Amino acid sequence: MDGLIKGLVNVAIDAVGGGRDEENETRDERSRSSWAQVVSGEQENDDRPHGHNNPPTQWRRQEESQQEQEGWEVSGSRPSRRPQKAKHEEYERNEGDRQDGYNYNQSQWNRKEEEKENNDGWETVGRKPQRQTHKVQKDNWHGYKRPASEQEYSDEVQTGASIEPSEEELSDLSQACNRLWELDLNRLVPGKDYQIDCGDGKKVYQKEDMAEGCLFNWLNEDVFRRPTFSRFCSLLDNYNPNAGCKEVVTSEEKQEQSAFIEEISRTAPIKYLHKYLSMKGIISENVQDFKRMMTKLWFDLYGRGGTSGSSSAFEHVFVGEIKQRGEQEVTGFHNWLQFYLEEAKGRVDYQGYIFPRRRGECPDSETQLLTIQFEWNGILKSVSSTLIGASPEFEIALYTLCFFLGGEENYVQLGPYSVNIKCYRFGDKIGSVFPVAEC
């Protein structure tokens, strides 16, 4: 009898369990059906910031603080479209150079691993492509802070008569800028030195993320062994991006600035710039006077955002700043190397290129003048333009030339690109300068 009772009880329990399994299975199918409606456009999900749709995946935060002797390692995947903004660790924790209390968000959102297919053959929607891991060779960067007597520089470039401006170039700013483009011997070659993925295009006012992956697929690590590139990159962590925060410049950082100017002064674009300005009577032929002028022009601090000593031409144009008054926004930030490094660390979320003015002329992996939209530390830069692959010495020479000899609008030719170099003055300083594609 006892055995019979136990048997009946087990049958009853199995029946109840089976009902629950069926209920769970039905709920699963309803969930899957609802997501299919979202994907097909029959239903919207407004939980994401800026109106993005949430993928049906779970998210996890993964701290990224790997440091190696030769430099930090880049995570293999781009920060996913995220339900909330990533929180970064303090700058000094990973960079070791900042003590001003500004907190950088240093962590990335990584998608939690899911099965590619379930037993019905249903695939996960919206999976981000994995990215190849890269290393940045920065073992020699700290050496740039050492005294001038301990610095080693490249040999002076031997260009002969090619750096002598012609009469046509002296009378035509566009021709002079184009000569600078030709003299940029350090400019990178698309497909050989790096590869980008432009993603899809958008208009400036659109906020949807139109890029499935990073802007940069890869960059040859040898790039960071080039003297002007590595000295330029060593300067990028010297600044607090808060536009209203007074900068504190150490003696070591001043040495980095001097070392950078000394290094680029040995290249063809800067030699051409010096010749041009001296022939125009703007600066003396004395090389040391020229270097001092360049250091003051690009690195001397001035007030921005209501605080004296809070900004410089170099910080604004190349590093970028975050405007704190009213709604936060990113200003400046027009350099591709800074973009690459910040994207690699998970601080930049590339969101697509801005449609060119002419239809049918969309950028591709070979394009070197690109207008883009991105978020930096969760703050939107709705439109920004950058000369991808250009050397630091070329950009410094180009913008300095336009500052001294151009106006606010400077329509010039740079190789295959018709460009308007926008130049805004801040008294006798560079307030902002950047390229705008004219086609």
- State pLDDT tens for residues 9-22: 454 444 444 444 43
Whether residue 334 lies in the annotated active site: yes
Residue 93 pLDDT exceeds 90: no
| pLDDT greater than 70 at residue 403 | yes
Span 216-239, pLDDT tens digits: 999 998 999 999 999 999 999 999
Domain ranges of the chain: 1-43, 144-437
Highest mean pLDDT among 60-64, 103-107, 133-137, 286-290: 286-290
Identify the DSSP state of 402. H
Q: Can you tell me the distance from the alpha carbon of 417 to that of 424, in angstroms, rounded to the nearest whole number? A: 21
316 is catalytic: yes
| Mean pLDDT, rounded, for 166-190 | 97
pLDDT at 237: 94
Single out the catalytic residue among 138, 271, 323, 334. Answer: 334
Question: Would residue 134 show up in a list of annotated catalytic residues for this protein?
Answer: no
- Choosing from 274, 381, 422, 429, the catalytic residue is 381
Residue 91 has pLDDT above 60, yes or no: no
pLDDT confidence tier of residue 51, bands split at 50, 70 and 90: very low
- Which is catalytic among the residues 138, 145, 202, 316? 316
pLDDT at 161: 61
Q: Which residue has the higher pLDDT, 270 or 23?
A: 270
Average pLDDT over residues 191-210: 93
User: Is there a contact between 140 and 230 (Cβ–Cβ < 8 Å)?
Assistant: yes
Question: Treating both helix axes as pointing N-terminal to C-terminal, what angle do 251-264 and 392-405 enclose, rounded to 10 degrees?
Answer: 90
What secondary structure does DSSP assign to 139-183, as a single string? TTGGGGGS-GGG---PPPP--GGGGS--HHHHH-HHHHHHHHHHH
Quote the pLDDT of residue 305. 76
- Which band of pLDDT confidence, cut at 50, 70 and 90, is reported for residue 306? confident
For the chain, percent of residues with pLDDT exceeding 90: 55
314-320-324 Cα angle (round to 5): 120
Q: Which band of pLDDT confidence, cut at 50, 70 and 90, is reported for residue 147?
A: confident
**Among 94-108, 143-157, 275-289, 424-438, the least confident range:** 94-108
- pLDDT of amino acid 146: 86
How does pLDDT run across 316-363, given as a tens digit for each residue?
A: 999 999 987 778 999 999 999 999 999 999 999 999 999 987 665 789
Phi-psi region of 53 (alpha: psi -120 to 50; beta: other; left: phi over 0): beta
Structural contact between residues 228 and 391, judged by C-beta atoms closer than 8 angstroms: yes
Q: Does residue 153 have a pLDDT over 50?
A: yes
List, for residues 354-391, the tens digit of each pLDDT value.
998 766 578 999 999 999 999 999 999 999 999 999 99
Q: Cα–Cα–Cα angle for 380, 385, 391, nearest 5°? A: 125
